[in-house]
Each structure stands twice: as structure tokens, then as C-alpha cells.
Amino acid sequence: MTENESARPTRIAVIGEIDSVIGFMAVGFDVLDCSTADEARERLDQCASGCAVVFIDEKYAEQIPDALEKYSFSPLPAVIPIPTGSRSSGWSSARLRKLVEKAVGSDIT
């Protein structure tokens, strides 16, 4: 293993309201509580350099598209919006579909 490989972030974080994301602690993810879009943006910036993957509640991800765009140009962290609870708008699924289509070159659904 080279020195650069050992320096790669390996942590996984989840950003959202604590009642929606607390379960992720059970599998060892870092859980970052927020209750506003501004807090979600701050949490994303805080954990971006130390995480390989950041899951973010779609409720907040929809409100901070500029922050998501900023991280979409670098390989790490992978910032992935996720639906939480029963209030999903479908935005995270549509965004993920667009990203896969961009990577693969066609819609795979």
C-alpha cells in the first residue's frame, strides 16, 4: 500500500434530523444532526474531507444544490441524497438516476 492509499478517507457519514438518521449509528456511520438546510451545509463541509461517502437527507439536499454541485466534481466524498421516513419527494431517486445515466451513458431503468 502506498502512502497516498493509506491517507484516503474511509469513514461514512449521514446528515439529517436525528430521529431519521440515528439508526445508521448501529452500523458504524458518523451521524450528524441538523434541523435546517444551513446546518446541513455546515455538517457537509465539516465532514467532507474525512469521509469517503456522505449520505444526506433529501429534504436538506434539495435546499442546498450548490453544495452538492461543489462536491460532484471530486471523487471523494461521494455525496448521496437519501429519502428518510415516509416523506420522500422522489427527488433523491431522480438525482441518483441522472448520475447513473451520466456515468453509464444511458438510462438503465
With residue 59 as reference, give the H or E element that holds it.
Answer: helix 58-61
Could you tell me which of 70, 64, 65, 44 has the C-alpha nearest to residue 55? Answer: 44
Q: What is the CATH number of the domain that holds 97?
A: 3.40.50.10580
Confidence of residue 103 (pLDDT cuts 50, 70, 90): low
DSSP secondary-structure letter at 89? Answer: -
Q: Does residue 109 belong to any structural domain of this protein?
A: no
Provide the whole-model pTM. Answer: 0.77
Q: Does residue 10 belong to any structural domain of this protein?
A: yes
Q: Provide the number of structural domains found in the chain.
A: 1
Q: Does residue 63 belong to any structural domain of this protein?
A: yes
Greater pLDDT, 31 or 73: 31
Q: Give yes or no for residue 73 having a pLDDT over 50.
A: yes
For residue range 19-41, list pLDDT tens digits in order. Answer: 999 999 999 999 999 999 999 99
The residue segments making up the domain with residue 56 are 3-104
For 19, counting Cβ atoms within 10 Å of its Cβ (0-12 exposed, 13-18 middle, 19+ buried), the class is exposed
